[in-house]
Chains A and B, each alone.
Chain A
Amino acid sequence: MSQTAEGTVFQDPDGGDDKSRRDFLTLATAAVGATGAGLAVWPLIDSMNPAADTLALSSIEIDIKPIEPGQRITVKWRGKPVFIDRRTPKSIKQAQTDDGAKMPDPQADKDRVKKAEWLVLIGVCPHLGCVPLGQKTGQSRGDYGGWFCPCHGSHYDFSGRIRKGPSPKNLQVPEYKFLNETTLRIG
């Protein structure tokens, strides 16, 4: 550094124009600017995530007393259908014997239920989000007796596991709890 009439000026020891310091300042300014822009953008992005009132609607209670063995009912949870299937001993047995079968997303039946009689599933095909058929009598239940997605032809078995068709995953099991013998809470 040397004194001039205008004040202090920087001088590169090599006599250059002090490029590396300028580069550093440019980079530092750009980095701080980018961080600031990122922080400013985050509220905008996060505002598109589920809002607090949407999250608040996240659990429901269902009276399961009127459901007969072999009957399937559909309830709405978080805007999606949830299938509640009171399975017959025969379909429970089939589901358990199928545990060893070859399937895209292997899972034992006992890991998919809390009580063998009650199968609770999110009624949304993991492929592209359609609602599979099989809840109502007369609807196709596919080749494995569970559910059948009409959109792209996924077949599900008595445990809601994918057996045939494009879906890569089994029908999802939501979080649920038996509050007592006749009440089920989902979520």
Chain B
Amino acid sequence: MTAPNESGQASSTDGKSGMIEQAKDWIDYRLPIFSFMEHELHDYPTPKNLNYWWNFGSLAGIVLVILIVTGIVLAMNYTPHVDHAFNSVERIMRDVNYGWLIRYVHMNGASMFFLVVYIHIFRGLYFGSYKPPRELLWWLGIVILLLMMMTAFMGYVLPWGQMSFWGATVITNLFSAIPGIGDYIVTWLWGGFSLGNPTLQRFFSLHYLLPFLIVGVVILHLWALHVHGSNNPLGIDRKSEKDSIPFHPYYTIKDLYGLGVFLIFYMAIVFFAPNALGEPDNYIPANPLVTPAHIVPEWYLLPYYAILRSVTFDIWFLEAKLLGVIAMFASIFILFLLPWLDNSKVRSARFRPIYKQMFWIFLVDCILLGMVGAHAPNDKVFPGVDWFEYVRLGQISTAYYFFHFLVLMPLLAKYEKTRPLPESISEPVLKGTESGE
């Protein structure tokens, strides 16, 4: 790109490309949007050793766009009224041109969004991406996760099926656990004395709004990212220009390749198993007088649901119900404290032999919590072993979840003997070539 001169006129004037250059320069002189893109998307120096786990941030961004685009089109055919919502969704599925496709892309898009974001979060946990100077970047990510959960929850209510209705009833009732004012808050959330039409309409309004808030926070997230740049698998800062490569074309092409692989997976679900991740009960219209035998949230919320149900005992004057709600919210809010709970100077688990193992145990613990959330509390984990019910497994897994953050992380930061860090990102690579590896 040529630098604009004082008047904003480009110096090159040969033919058509000169015209475009001139127009670009004219705009850039007044609103430096092209320089900005050049700087942040093209030249943007990026660690040269990023692996495929770094693809999931851009994937999350792309899924968000897919969700917003399909959602806007769905909203053109959806009716947010208790008498019409279910039928309008069925009409989208049967009568609207490609309505089935758009809805399945949207519905499974939510699952894909969470899948990609969870991998992105665990990537951050493994490679220590939450550590200085990226604490705010991490915080903004958690805010995005919270907004995603709210959006997904409200979106799930919109088809007004049995699971929409009863899932929303259970979740809104969580607020009744707040001492004193809980019942008023629930009535306020509902806009009535039970989950009804006012609730559906406000959920639709908010379900439309929140994704744009997410976009706003994503922009802040990217801004914070671009201040210090990406972390990398070695978890060490870049020391010289040799450690970086420009974002374009190296990572644009890598992200595109990852996108291709991801879309194959995503579309395979959309076309061959569109309802595999959903609950069949949601194809039954909502009935306020009959509760389904087994209320379960969508898979991406199961671990939190397990934590909620694990507290079955009162502590002191606090009721089990309130404690369960506190534990559930704490399981997410504890992530905000992580940069201080783990103040080990070494970021990447590659150089933290014990943390590396604890990371995998923690991942298994989260998966266990997900399994617990999917089962009724009194189901037996192993047939024949009567005392080992899922609620018991949930209590153990919940205890471990908090143990990991509150005890293990601070202790490891203090006592773990870390392996020596390489001098620079380039060093292990160059050494490797020298020794002929």
**What residues make up the interface of A, taking CB atoms closer than 8 Å to B?**
45, 48-51, 54, 58, 74, 76, 78-81, 123-124, 126-131, 149-153, 166-168
Contacts and interface: CB of A to CB of B under 8 A. Distances in A.
B206 to A, nearest CB: 11
B293 interface: yes
Would you list the 8 A-B pairs with minimal beta carbon distance, nearest first?
A79-B194, A78-B193, A129-B173, A129-B169, A130-B291, A131-B291, A128-B170, A128-B173
A30 to B, nearest CB: 26
A129 B177 CA distance: 12
B291 A150 contact: yes
B321 A166 contact: yes
B174 interface: yes
A168 B377 contact: no
A80 B291 contact: no
A129 to B, nearest CB: 4
Contacts of B293: 150
Given A50-B193, A127-B173, A129-B170, 10 more contacts: A50-B190, A50-B192, A51-B198, A54-B198, A79-B193, A127-B321, A129-B173, A130-B166, A150-B291, A151-B291
Contacts, number: 84
Nearest to B82: A79
Contact of A50 (B191, B295, B309): B191
Given A150-B293, A150-B294, A153-B378, A49 B170 contact: no
Nearest to B293: A150
A128 B174 contact: yes
B18 interface: no
A51 B377 contact: no
Contacts of B320: 166, 168
Contact of A48 (B176, B194, B202, B294): B202
B49 interface: no
Nearest to B193: A78
Contacts of A127: 173, 321
B289 A49 contact: no
Contacts of B290: 131
Chain A contact surface mostly: loop
28 contacts: A48-B191, A49-B187, A50-B187, A50-B190, A50-B191, A54-B191, A54-B193, A54-B198, A74-B289, A76-B289, A78-B193, A78-B194, A79-B192, A79-B193, A80-B193, A80-B194, A80-B288, A81-B289, A127-B173, A127-B321, A128-B173, A129-B170, A129-B172, A130-B291, A150-B293, A152-B377, A153-B377, A166-B312
B317 to A, nearest CB: 12
B405 to A, nearest CB: 25
A79 B291 contact: no
A130 B194 contact: no
Contacts of A151: 170, 291, 295
B188 A48 contact: yes
A45 B191 CA distance: 11
B196 interface: yes
B410 to A, nearest CB: 32
Interface in B164-199: 166, 169-170, 172-174, 176, 187-196, 198
Contacts of A80: 193-194, 288
A52 to B, nearest CB: 12
B319 interface: yes
Interface string B287-313: 011110111000000000000010010
A32 B198 CA distance: 33
Nearest to A132: B291
B191 A51 contact: yes
